[in-house]
């Protein structure tokens, strides 16, 4: 292997190993690990290397990038599976059994959207939000998470009830700053002793607020991460996660995977196959 190839491999390892910290430094905040950092990293978007490749427009380069993305997805899935095993082992420990935990099935947070007027949805299927009959926002939760749907949102709770998430269009929010303010109001209704991390703006423009708190009813320490992002022309959307603090390090790959599954309006418009679809995806990353 040449020196140039070795340098390329080293650069790739750095990008894969540190996506969370890179995204957070762009926002000026301290690096966050666990679920909070994973959420930010999952919404950070493409790399500068992908942008450079898109400008070149070489078919071989497009094919190679597609292979790299496929390899990354495989690695991510492996990480999620290993994490699931570790979480199951922890839940069998005396430490876990002797601790208080949330049950988001019984007390879902009213963050981003109200928890009323929702219907159960089939688990394991993509959550798709439509407007005028057209899909405009989508997400894929793990197959064992219990999903519920409303007219403009999809929410889900992990199989053990210790992690909760929601994604929704924000139809009455004028800008991302206002969206973050509304999220903070919702968190204040559900949590106490809230401590916010520094606001982060990812290089894709999402505004992400993270922090810690305690459930007002359950009294359980939790961590949270929520973001406001552009999902279409003049359309803002929000996504949020709240999980028990003691499992933050045991659900980070799952949360990252969920964030990376988010589709916005242009993704549905570009849902084509073959090289044409690949070129569209590259242009979107650029």
pLDDT at 119: 64
User: Rounded to a whole number, what is the largest CA-CA distance in the chain?
Assistant: 61
Q: How far apart are CA 122 and CA 103, in angstroms?
A: 20
- Nearest C-alpha neighbor of 249 from the set 33, 10, 14, 4: 33
Domain edges within the chain: 1-286
Which stretch of DSSP H or E encloses residue 228? strand 221-232
Q: How far apart are CA 215 and CA 144, in angstroms?
A: 24
Q: How far apart are CA 255 and CA 40, in angstroms?
A: 10
pLDDT at 79: 87
Cα dihedral across residues 262, 266, 267, 269: positive or negative? positive
pTM score of the predicted model: 0.76
Q: How far apart are CA 62 and CA 7, in angstroms?
A: 21
Q: What are phi and psi of 57, to 5 degrees?
A: 70, 30
Cα dihedral across residues 249, 42, 151, 180: positive or negative? positive
pLDDT at 30: 39
Q: How far apart are CA 57 and CA 46, in angstroms?
A: 16
Per-residue pLDDT of the chain (286 residues; tens, 9 = 90+): 544 444 443 333 333 333 433 344 333 333 467 999 999 988 864 333 333 233 333 344 444 444 555 565 677 788 888 998 999 999 999 999 999 999 998 888 889 987 544 666 666 678 899 988 899 999 999 999 999 988 899 999 999 999 999 999 998 888 999 999 999 999 999 999 999 999 999 988 999 999 999 999 889 999 999 999 999 988 999 999 999 999 999 999 999 999 999 999 998 886 544 344 444 444 444 4
Cβ atoms of 200 and 24 closer than 8 Å: yes
Which residues, at least 6 apart from 88, have a Cβ–Cβ distance to it below 8 Å?
none
Looking at residue 60, what DSSP letter applies?
H
How big is the CA angle at 88 (ends 82 and 92), to the nearest 5 degrees?
145
Q: How far apart are CA 111 and CA 116, in angstroms?
A: 12
The superfamily CATH assigns to domain 1-286 is: Mog1/PsbP, alpha/beta/alpha sandwich (3.40.1000.10)
Cβ atoms of 148 and 166 closer than 8 Å: no
């Amino acid at each position: 292997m040449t020196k140039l190839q070795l340098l390329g491999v080293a650069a790739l390892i750095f990008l894969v190993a540190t996506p969370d910290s890179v995204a957070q430094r762009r926002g000026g905040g301290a690096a966050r690990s666990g679920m909070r950092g994973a959420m930010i990293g999952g919404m950070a978007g493409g790399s500068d290397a992908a942008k450079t490749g898109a400008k070149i427009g070489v078919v071989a380069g497009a094919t190679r990038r597609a292979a790299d993305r496929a390899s990354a997805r495989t690695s991510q899935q492996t990480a999620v599976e290993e994490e699931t095993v570790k979480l199951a082992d922890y839940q069998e420990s005396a430490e876990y059994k002797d601790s208080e935990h949330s049950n988001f099935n019984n007390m879902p947070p009213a963050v981003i959207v109200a928890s009323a007027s929702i219907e159960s949805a089939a688990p394991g299927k993509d959550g798709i939000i439509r407007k005028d009959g057209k899909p405009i926002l989508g997400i894929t939760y793990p197959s064992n998470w219990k999903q519920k749907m409303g007219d403009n949102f999809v929410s889900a709770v992990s199989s053990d009830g210790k992690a909760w998430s929601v994604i929704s269009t924000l139809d009455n929010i004028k800008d991302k700053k206002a969206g973050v303010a509304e999220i903070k109001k919702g968190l204040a209704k559900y949590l106490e002793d809230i401590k916010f991390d520094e606001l982060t703006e990812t290089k894709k423009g999402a505004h992400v607020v993270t922090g810690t708190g305690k459930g007002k009813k359950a009294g359980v320490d939790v961590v949270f991460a929520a973001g406001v992002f552009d999902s279409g022309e003049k359309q803002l959307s929000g996504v949020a996660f709240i999980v028990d603090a003691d499992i933050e390090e045991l659900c980070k790959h799952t949360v990252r995977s969920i964030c990376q599954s988010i589709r916005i309006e242009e993704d549905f418009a570009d849902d084509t196959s073959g090289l044409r679809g690949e070129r569209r995806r590259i242009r979107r990353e650029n």
